[in-house]
Structure 1
Amino acid sequence: MSVHYQRHGDIGVIQIANPPVNALGQGVRSGLVNALKEGIADTDAKALVVLADGRTFIAGADIREFGKPPQAPLLPDVITHLEACPKPLIAALHGTALGGGLEVALGCHYRIALAGTRVGLPEVKLGLLPGAGGTQRLPRLVGVERALEMITSGRFVEAEEALEAGIIDAISDAKTPLEAGLAAAQEVLADAQTPRITGQLPAPAADSQAITKTLEHLNQQSPELFSPFRIVEAIQACVDAESLEAGLRRERELFLACMDSPQRAGLIHLFFAARSPHLVPDVEKASAFKHVALIGEHPLFVRLQKAAQKAGISLTSAPDEATELCLLAPNAPRDSGKARPVIALEEIGAGSDSASSKDSALSLIIAENGHIAELINVSAEPLIQQRAALTLKALRLNIVVSQQKSMLRAMHAATQQAPTSERQSALEQLSVNMAKQGFCYRESDLDLLAVEAFGYPRHLGGPHRQATLSTAAKDV
């Protein structure tokens, strides 16, 4: 069972257990409704607490449901049930409360968060807007200007800012969400804290200046995007609607318009592309190397060193007996001792392979903007490439694995040679050719590299996807 109910003294606890991030799948949604009914019917429970197991509260929607027909109960209906609870309903937050997770919390009557909690409504990054009351309830708490900024950017908000803004009611120094939630419930029952039913708060004051400023910013920064402008419309509806219910209806209309947008499909394609670009197909039970030598000097090494301790990886400036993997800066002297895997680091703008890379089984190409890197398998066993990729990922480097030749190098050359107006089409043609030649393990890897390293429009989903769609349209 994804959600269960249990009473602690005179406090009923609704506990979500849907690892790893307590995503709001259909089982969790129906479980919340059933557990809420149980809590309301429990005459010995004077207040109810909603919390989650594991390392986080609810981190958003269940990605396994993306693209599938929605199943009842829909999240807006679940939150309507929560908000209508006749008993004080406390949300105890920890980790992250994102997207639908924050919307669930906004449907509760009081929000307490453990230190370090982050909240946010990042749906805009998937070409959507919050579709379960986020554009209607958040402005009632924080006003139009802050709601516009938060939702159109999709940024995460730290607990301290969330408290100052009124999104949460308190930060707890308790060790667990259960301790924090029970303590908050007792304070509410003792009238030491006052719960607020968000949907019953007055609509925020009109702020035409904030609306105008946001629209100007969006038209300057991302005029081609669809969902940010619909977010502005939804928040304006929060101001203008005659009731919460009317505002929610307008939000739902705008949410469904975003769902129908081609941009949403492109952004979700990239979302999935970014989940597994470091995985080598058909390699299982691989683990990161724990002892790595960084040979030579390079700015990247400074970044890796900062992440090493948290990753549990030992880094040295020269190989020793414990060394399992070497990473060579361009033109650094190669270790001629014990045979061990070597990654040759290469500069994206260099005209040809560095001397140190010619006999290396693996090459690492760093994008000029530093956002992403490509780990190419020249002649290594697949398991070695996978272990190396896991090592670099543990060191906080965004990695795409590939084989034979560098996709980053080819894309860089194509963008340098093509006129600015033709760079998108050059990347599209190149991505089709590289996929045919088998450079990539997954065609989506081409899309991810083009977007993150070369600024291909994110909402289009990447050049290979776009080229494929164009070909399909011509064939119809």
Structure 2
Amino acid sequence: MSVHYQRHGEVGVISIANPPVNALGQAVRSGLLSALKEGIADQQAKALVVMAEGRTFIAGADIREFGKPPQAPLLPDVITQLEACPKPLIASLHGTALGGGLEVALGCHYRVALAGTRVGLPEVKLGLLPGAGGTQRLPRLVGVENALEIITSGRFVKAAEARDLGIIDAISDAQTPLEAGLAAAQAILTGQRQARITGQLPSPEANPQAIATMREQLETSVPALFSPFRIVEAVDACTKAASLEEGLRRERELFLACMDSPQRAGLIHLFFAARNPHVVPGVDSAQPFAHIALVGEHPLFDTLLKAAQRSELTLTHTPDASTELCLLAPGEDASACPSQAVTVALQLLTANASTSPISLVLSERGPFHELVNHGANAADQQRVALTLKALRANVVVTQCHSVLSTLYHAARQTPDNDAQSAMEQASLTLAQQGACYRESDIDLLAVEALGYPRHLGGPHRQATLPSPSSTHKKTPSEDAHS
């Protein structure tokens, strides 16, 4: 069972167990309602606690449901029933409470968090807005200006700040969410703490200045994006709606508008593209190299050495008989490396193609570098990729030709206003040449390393859309406000 109910003394505990991140899939949503019903019916339970097992509270929606028709019960309905619970309902948070996870917590009557907990509403990063009451309940706790900043940025808020703002009520020094939740419930039952229903709090005072300022900021920083402007509308509606229900209806309308936006599909595409770009298809059970030599000097090496302190890998500056992998700084050669070691040459984005069997093309911006296999064993490339991942360096694996360099030079050889089109044309050629293991890898590299507009989903996606005129041929102003 994804959710189960158990009573501890006079406190009923609703516990979510849906590893790894307790995502809000249909089984969890329906399980929450069943456990809530059980807790309400339990006459010996004077208060209820919602908590999650494992390493985190609810970290958001279930990605397996992305792009599929929604299944009842919908999350807004679940949260409405949680909020209507006739008994004090405490959310005990740990790890992260993100997206729908924070919205569940906002529907509870009191929120306690373990130290180190982070909360947030990051839906904007997927072209959406919080669609289960986040834009209506959060402003009631933190005001219009704070709500706008938190939701339009999608940032994670640390526990201390969340408490100071009023998102959570207390930080517990307990060791487990169960202990924290039970203690908070007892404090409420004995009158030491007070529970309150978020949706029954008065609407925040209208703040037209904050609304106008945020719109101006968005027009300057992300004029082409759709969902941030809908977020502003939803938060503004919170101050004007005659009731919570009216505000929730408006939020739902705006959420569905975001769902229908081409930008949402593009951002979801990139979300999935970023999940496992380091995986070489067809290579099973590969392991990182244990002994790595860093030949020469490069800033990346400093980063790898720091990460090695938290790993089981051994990094040295001098190759020896135990060296399994040599990373060569630009300009260095493999003569110092033992013959049995796999060699990888670091290559600047602007440099000529490497003659090394494997090269690591360094992006000048963003979190992803490109690991290109120019003819080495696929298993060796996979082991290198796993080694770099263990050292906190994100890579996209490709073959034959550098996707990153090809896109970079294509964009540089055309006027600025044609750079996107040039990358789109180059992406088709790269795919035909078999340079990528997954076509989405082209999109990921173009967006993260070369600044191709994120909301378009990447050049290859744009180049292969059935009707591209319906998305990126709008002007930024039209796209932002359509």
* TM-score normalised per structure 2: 0.95
Q: Can you list the C-alpha shifts for 1:295-322, whole angstroms capped at 9, x where unaligned?
A: 1100111111222222332221122344
Q: Can you list the C-alpha shifts for 1:376-414, whole angstroms capped at 9, x where unaligned?
A: 111222111111111111222221000011111111111
Which residue does the alignment assign to 1:458?
A: 454
Alpha-carbon distance between aligned partners in 1 of 2:72 and 2:406, rounded to the nearest angstrom = 47
Task: From 365, 376, 392, give the equivalent of 1:396.
Answer: 392
Q: Which runs of 5+ in 2 are unaligned?
A: 471-482
1:189-204 paired onto structure 2 within 5 Å: 189-204=189-204
Alpha-carbon distance between aligned partners in 1 of 2:468 and 2:370, rounded to the nearest angstrom = 29
Pairing 1:212–2:224 present: no
Alpha-carbon distance between aligned partners in 2 of 1:188 and 1:83, rounded to the nearest angstrom = 16
Q: Which amino acid aligns with 1:340?
A: A
Pairing 1:111–2:111 present: yes
1:246-395 paired onto structure 2 within 5 Å: 246-334=246-334, 335-350=336-351, 352-353=352-353, 357-358=354-355, 360-395=356-391
Which residue does the alignment assign to 2:15?
A: 15
SS of the residue aligned with 1:375? strand
Once the two structures are overlaid, the 10-residue window that deviates more, 411-420 or 289-298, is 289-298
Residue 11 of structure 1 and its aligned partner are, at CA, apart by 1.1
Alpha-carbon distance between aligned partners in 2 of 1:325 and 1:388, rounded to the nearest angstrom = 8
1:8-157 paired onto structure 2 within 5 Å: 8-157=8-157
Q: Which amino acid aligns with 2:423?
A: L
SS of the residue aligned with 1:346? strand
Alpha-carbon distance between aligned partners in 2 of 1:187 and 1:314, rounded to the nearest angstrom = 50
* TM-score normalised per structure 1: 0.96
SS of the residue aligned with 1:422? helix
Q: Which amino acid aligns with 1:349?
A: T
Alpha-carbon distance between aligned partners in 2 of 1:6 and 1:372, rounded to the nearest angstrom = 45
SS of the residue aligned with 1:196? coil
Pairing 1:446–2:432 present: no
Alpha-carbon distance between aligned partners in 2 of 1:296 and 1:373, rounded to the nearest angstrom = 19
Residue 470 of structure 1 and its aligned partner are, at CA, apart by 4.9
* Structure 2 contact 112–169 (Cα < 8 Å) conserved: yes
CA RMSD of aligned residues (A): 1.4
SS of the residue aligned with 2:309? helix
Residue 267 of structure 1 and its aligned partner are, at CA, apart by 0.6
Q: Which runs of 5+ in 1 are unaligned?
A: none
SS of the residue aligned with 1:77? helix
Which residue does the alignment assign to 2:163?
A: 163
CA gap 1:375/1:210 in 2 versus in 1, 3 angstroms: same
* Structure 2 contact 291–322 (Cα < 8 Å) conserved: yes
Which residue does the alignment assign to 1:409?
A: 405
SS of the residue aligned with 1:391? helix
* Structure 2 contact 91–108 (Cα < 8 Å) conserved: yes
Residue 370 of structure 1 and its aligned partner are, at CA, apart by 4.8
Q: Which amino acid aligns with 2:379?
A: L
Q: Which amino acid aligns with 2:338?
A: G
Runs of 4+ with >3 A deviation: 470-474
Residue 167 of structure 1 and its aligned partner are, at CA, apart by 0.3
SS of the residue aligned with 1:143? helix
* Structure 1 contact 128–255 (Cα < 8 Å) conserved: yes
